[in-house]
Amino acid sequence: MSRHWTLWALLVIVLAGPALAAETYGGGVTLTETTSIGKILADPDAYEGRQVRVEGEVTDVCPMRGCWMEIAEPEGDRLRIKVDDGAIIFPPTAKGKHAVAEGVLEKIPMEREEYIRWMSHLADERGESFDAAKIGNGPFNILQIRGLGARIE
């Protein structure tokens, strides 16, 4: 009898292992249908202000406060998940892992000078150089998901 319980316990641990490895952030993920990032980027006006679920590989995380992470699909389409500073903290160790996130798509219009400051800030965070002369004349819109929750596996 003891041997059977040991086998059952081992089976439970093996099957639960992947589920235990996932870490939930914020309100978690409640939507069941994933919208492709490529589809959102192709027609952002159709999704602006709507709650969406996206998933893919975490390609970047805010190195300062963990207040955003970038998720990319295999095709290369990527989108930033942004949260209020301190509300959710995405760990730098999430890079390279699979993530599912949900929130409301935001389209943030900017004037050229404001966009240049934003791009300069991002370059500073990454320790990269930035050349404002390479920025065109617009229009300038930042698309991001105002994150409500995520799961990183």
DSSP assignment string, the chain:
-HHHHHHHHHHHHHHHHHHHH-EEEET-----PPPPHHHHHH-HHHHBTSEEEEEEEEEEE-TTT--EEEEE-TTS-EEEEE--TTTS---GGGTTSEEEEEEEEEEEEE-HHHHHHHHHHHHHHHT----GGG--S--EEEEEEEEEEEEE-
Q: CATH topology for 24-152? A: OB fold (Dihydrolipoamide Acetyltransferase, E2P) (2.40.50)
Question: How does residue 20 score in pLDDT terms, banded at 50, 70 and 90?
Answer: low
pLDDT for position 133: 87
- Whole-number pLDDT of residue 10: 42
Mean pLDDT, residues 3-22 taken together: 49
Note if the pTM is more than 0.85. Answer: no
Amino acid 14: pLDDT: 45
Q: Is residue 126 pLDDT above 90, yes or no? A: no
User: Which is more confident, 122 or 83?
Assistant: 83
Mean pLDDT of 66-72: 95
Which pLDDT score, from 0 to 100, does residue 36 have?
97
